[in-house]
């Protein structure tokens, strides 16, 4: 069966075995082929390796989809099945022995985030809608959060953050299947944590949907200009999810001083060859540009030479500060693949009360390698290889606004924009 047809059937009634899933998806997502060689801890996962575990989780999911979760249909069914198949996709590279309270155990630290980032470009090789791609990425990246929120008795703001990032009901069903699809001594307690998560998500108004911030701000914002609407709305999301305010309406006061006149910082995030320069010229031609490539050429005589990094970064940050002080629009043009690199710029922009837009460019890997070769300033494949290895897919709350761009500059997804109703795929 062709992969496209196979994927389509997942949205209807297909219930493929783990072996069939690996056969179909393994040529596109290589880590699946290493599941059988990836061990798990004998206490937490007495059932065996990752391949066995994933097969058991799939079987449990199919039982749920036939009963309590039978209302999950169409693209959400497709995304949930793919999320289960891929939820442990990074375990083959993250599994290791670790010392936990004086005992040597087998664990796979950070496999959720690393799995999400690994898949960010892989899934674009498949014929999937972006709503499915985005949902799968976040099911993988957030699948341990439901239990973590309950176990650590985390705050309402943490539930709000999670609900904007991923559909809380879908990730709940994934984790129920994940827990049932293993052999461990504390299964009943683990499932109880998930029920607590569900109750809290319902109580906080985010069961299967993000917090409705827009309607609560509408009476005031609808009387204001569009650039103020976006500023207040985006800051309300950020402040709510970081515990700085407890009601959306509070953002009307916290943003009042700067909402009329504020800088706008656009931070690019993409590997070399993704078309950042072209996209910037088409969308923000009048903005000031802070380009690390240009500064490397000024300092080193060649933009490919990676030296004087500290001086270049300081010069770039000073250029940014100039625009921030003038309350201008400015684009920070660099790969910005790591979250700590992005945080340096975004935190600085927030200090000046800027509106920060993060532009994430996602395309199939093969397209990026091909486009890179056609560029005037191409980088070696080995450099691109490392960029993909280092890549950390940004979370929504890293910036005020989030814009995902696909091939040929096509907008795939935007979040944090007041006038756009589709702030997610829940």
- Residues 242-255 pLDDT 10s: 999 999 999 999 99
pLDDT digits (tens, 9 = 90+) for 141-151: 999 999 999 99
User: Interhelix angle for 18-25 vs 3-10, to 10°?
Assistant: 140
Tokens, residue 19: 């072996």
- Report the residue count for the chain: 426
pLDDT of residue 310: 85
Q: What are 32-86's pLDDT values in tens digits?
A: 999 999 999 888 898 999 999 999 999 999 999 999 999 999 999 999 999 999 9
**Does residue 305 carry a pLDDT above 80?**
no
Average pLDDT over residues 397-401: 97
Q: What are phi and psi of 99, to 5 degrees?
A: -90, 115
Q: Which two tokens stand for residue 238?
A: 């950020």
Domain 264-415 matching CATH 3.40.50.1370: the answer reads: no
Neighbours of 15 (CB within 10 A): 15
HSE on the CB side for 172, CA within 13 Å?
25
Look at 304 and 47; give whichever has higher pLDDT: 47
Q: Kind of pairing, strands 355-361 and 264-269? A: parallel
> Residue 1: pLDDT band by 50, 70, 90 thresholds?
confident
The pLDDT value recorded for residue 43 is 86
Give me the residues paired with residue 403 across strands: 359, 414
What is residue 178's three-state secondary structure?
Answer: helix
- The fraction of the chain above a pLDDT of 90, given in percent, is 87
In the block, tokens 């709940």 appear at 172
Q: Quick one: pLDDT at residue 422?
A: 57
The two tokens of residue 107 are 């664990």
pLDDT at residue 233, as a whole number? 98
10 Å CB burial of residue 91 (0-12, 13-18, 19+) is: buried
pLDDT at residue 309 in the model: 82
């Amino acid at each position: 069966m062709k992969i496209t047809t196979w994927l389509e059937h997942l949205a209807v009634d297909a219930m493929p075995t783990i072996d069939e899933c690996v056969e179909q998806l393994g040529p596109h997502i290589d880590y699946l082929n290493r599941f059988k060689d990836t061990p798990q801890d004998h206490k937490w996962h007495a059932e065996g390796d990752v391949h066995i575990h994933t097969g058991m989780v799939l079987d449990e999911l199919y039982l749920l989809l036939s009963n309590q979760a039978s209302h999950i249909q169409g693209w959400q069914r497709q995304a949930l099945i793919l999320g289960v198949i891929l939820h442990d996709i990074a375990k083959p590279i993250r599994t290791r022995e670790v010392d936990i309270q004086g005992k040597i155990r087998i664990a796979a630290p950070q496999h959720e985030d690393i799995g999400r980032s690994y898949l960010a470009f892989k899934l674009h090789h498949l014929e999937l809608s972006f709503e499915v791609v985005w949902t799968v990425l976040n099911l993988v990246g957030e699948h341990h959060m439901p239990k973590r929120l309950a176990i650590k008795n985390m705050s309402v703001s943490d539930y709000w953050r999670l609900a904007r990032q991923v559909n809380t009901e879908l990730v709940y069903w994934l984790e129920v299947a994940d827990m049932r699809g293993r052999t461990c001594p504390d299964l009943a307690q683990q499932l109880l944590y998930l029920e607590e998560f569900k109750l809290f998500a319902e109580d906080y108004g985010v069961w299967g949907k993000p917090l409705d911030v827009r309607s609560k701000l509408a009476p005031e914002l609808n009387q204001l200009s569009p650039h103020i609407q976006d500023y207040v709305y985006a800051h309300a999301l950020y402040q709510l999810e970081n515990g700085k305010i407890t009601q959306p309406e509070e953002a009307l006061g916290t943003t009042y001083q700067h909402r009329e006149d504020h800088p706008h910082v656009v931070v690019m995030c993409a590997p070399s060859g993704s078309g950042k320069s072209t996209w910037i010229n088409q969308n923000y031609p009048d903005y000031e540009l802070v380009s690390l490539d240009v500064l490397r050429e000024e300092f080193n005589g060649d933009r490919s030479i990676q030296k004087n990094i500290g001086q270049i970064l300081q010069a770039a940050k000073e250029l940014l500060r100039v625009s921030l002080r003038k309350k201008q629009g400015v684009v920070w043009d660099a790969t910005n693949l790591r979250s700590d690199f992005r945080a340096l710029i975004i935190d600085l922009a927030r200090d000046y009360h800027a509106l920060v837009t993060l532009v994430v460019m996602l395309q199939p890997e093969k397209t990026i390698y091909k486009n890179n070769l056609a560029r005037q300033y191409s980088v070696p494949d080995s450099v691109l290889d490392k960029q993909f290895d280092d890549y950390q897919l940004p979370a929504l709350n890293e910036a005020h606004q989030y814009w995902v761009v696909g091939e040929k500059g096509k907008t795939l997804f935007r979040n944090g924009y007041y006038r756009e109703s589709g702030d997610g795929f829940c």
